[in-house]
Amino acid sequence: MPQCSFSRATAMAGVTPVQNIFIAEYMQKAPEGYVKAYLYGLMQCYNPALAEDEMAFALEMSEQALAEAFLYWQAQGLVSILADDPLRVEYKHPTAVAPLSGGGARRYAAFNAALQDALRDALAASGKSRVFFPNEMQKIYDWIEVFGLEEAAVILLVRHCLSEKGPRVGLKYMDEKARRWADAGVLTTEDAQRRVQFELEMQSGAQAILRRWRKSRQATEDELALYQKWTKEWGMAEEEILAACAALTAAEKPTFAYLDAVLQNARLAGGSAEYARRQAAVEDLAANALRRAGVRRNATVSQRMQVETWVYSWHMSPELVLLAAEYAAGESRPFYAMERIVKGWHEEGVSTIAAARASREKAQAKPAMPATKAAPVSRALRPPQRTYSAEDLKHIGVKLLDDEED
């Protein structure tokens, strides 16, 4: 099938129809430079021969400024951005967008413009642009119509998410935050401002912990929730929390869940100061026990926690722990041997050195298990036995030689 088109020169001599409604209702309200972007794109729609022209170069606009212009026209409902890299735009006829006094994009025209300004301001330093597609805009409208957030609160939420996650933050993340805000009653602009300040404080504290562990990632929502519990529900100061982090610095993979257990123990121990003294005593006892067991290295975090369990949960005295270390000396895995010994004492109710020695002597006095005899081999599995005389062997040899000669 033949394909026909005007030449570029012929296309340039043609005309581009512009609807009066655009001139009367849209053009005078548009920011500077946005109208020429719209008209140039409209010309390309009516004249495919001109569609290959580089719009940004022809209009002397940056790619970012051009993207912002079409984001504005999308917010007005006149175009749909189909892709942002490269930019692909679908035009709509102005009369088919919405009644002049109707809803949809027209109803949110002022909000859409404010949202675009927020995007531009939030991303100015990064030199990047961000596009909200029509289906995403409808989701954002739901935050207003369904969740009940004020338009200004939505603008603050979007700015906050961009500052947290950067220009490529997903709408799913924003939607989840909007739901949490609505569930918490954060609906007005004033509520949103206080919420943003609160979340920034939580993020700052959680990030300080991650930096202490030399982790450069962002804190997760679960980690932020734990930090909120420690500071708001338990009333712990940031200094107390960071001090507790010292107990985890030797762990291979320190976690907020692990730190939560440490802080819970600190509360039960009567405060962080008392807990710090307890941890120092546990660390010293674990080091002495390992030396007495013949281990020449520092105790791991898990080993210190095990010693803490023996002393403060099982109520084993430090003397009993050191005695178990003496008994474990020479074992291939001394600490596991200590653990087995102490567990046995705990189950027997041993609480004194005398009782521990008596338990040890009793265990050593038990007769050794008799060696088990090998099970007899079934006669069916044993080959028949035969004794050969020298004469038999000679005949066999002759026979073999005869076979070889054949």
What residue ranges do the domains of the chain occupy? 1-99, 269-361
- What are phi and psi for residue 88, nearest 5 degrees? -125, 125
Find the angle CA(37)-CA(123)-CA(22) to the nearest 5 degrees: 25
Residue 336: the pLDDT is: 92
Most confident of the ranges 27-31, 150-154, 231-235, 264-268: 150-154
Q: pLDDT band at residue 369, thresholds of 50, 70 and 90?
A: low
Is residue 193 within 8 Å of 156, Cβ to Cβ?
Answer: yes
Residue 397: the pLDDT is: 57
Percent above pLDDT 70 for the chain: 80
Residue 39: the pLDDT is: 92
Most confident of the ranges 8-17, 97-106, 178-187: 178-187
Architecture of domain 1-99: Orthogonal Bundle (1.10)
Written as one string, the DSSP assignment of 228-282 is HIIIIIS---HHHHHHHGGGGTTSSS--HHHHHHHHHHHHHTTSHHHHHHHHHHH
Of 250 and 244, the one with more pLDDT: 244
Q: Is pLDDT of 151 > 60?
A: yes
CA dist 162 and 393 (Å) reads: 95
Residue 103: the pLDDT is: 47
Across 31-40, 83-92, 290-299, 367-376, least confident range: 367-376
Judged on CB neighbours under 10 Å (0-12, 13-18, 19+), 322 is middle
Residue 249: the pLDDT is: 60
- What are phi and psi for residue 82, nearest 5 degrees? -85, -30
Residue 296: the pLDDT is: 87
Q: Which fold has domain 269-361?
A: Arc Repressor Mutant, subunit A (1.10.10)
Most confident of the ranges 72-76, 90-94, 179-183, 266-270: 179-183
Residue 174: the pLDDT is: 94
Q: Is pLDDT of 100 > 50?
A: no
Across 13-17, 129-133, 263-267, least confident range: 129-133
Structure tokens at 237: 């100061």
Average pLDDT over residues 313-333: 91
Residue 6: the pLDDT is: 65
Q: Is pLDDT of 1 > 80?
A: no
Across 136-150, 208-222, 344-358, least confident range: 208-222
236 Cβ partners below 8 Å, 6+ apart?
A: 230, 263, 272
Q: Is pLDDT of 274 > 60?
A: yes
What would the pLDDT profile of 20-79 be if each residue is shown by its tens digit?
Answer: 888 887 887 787 788 999 999 998 888 877 776 688 888 888 887 888 888 888 877 888
Q: pLDDT band at residue 245, thresholds of 50, 70 and 90?
A: confident
Q: Is the dihedral of CA 346, 351, 357, 359 positive or negative?
A: negative
pTM of the model: 0.50
Of 273 and 44, the one with more pLDDT: 44
Q: pLDDT band at residue 349, thresholds of 50, 70 and 90?
A: very high
Residue 400: the pLDDT is: 45
DSSP 27: G
Across 90-94, 241-245, 317-321, least confident range: 241-245
Of 120 and 329, the one with more pLDDT: 329
392 Cβ partners below 8 Å, 6+ apart?
A: none
Percent above pLDDT 90 for the chain: 28
Is residue 122 within 8 Å of 159, Cβ to Cβ?
Answer: yes
Q: pLDDT band at residue 402, thresholds of 50, 70 and 90?
A: very low
Q: Do domains 1-99 and 269-361 have the same CATH topology?
A: yes
Length of the chain: 406
Q: Is pLDDT of 236 > 90?
A: no
Mean pLDDT in the chain? 80
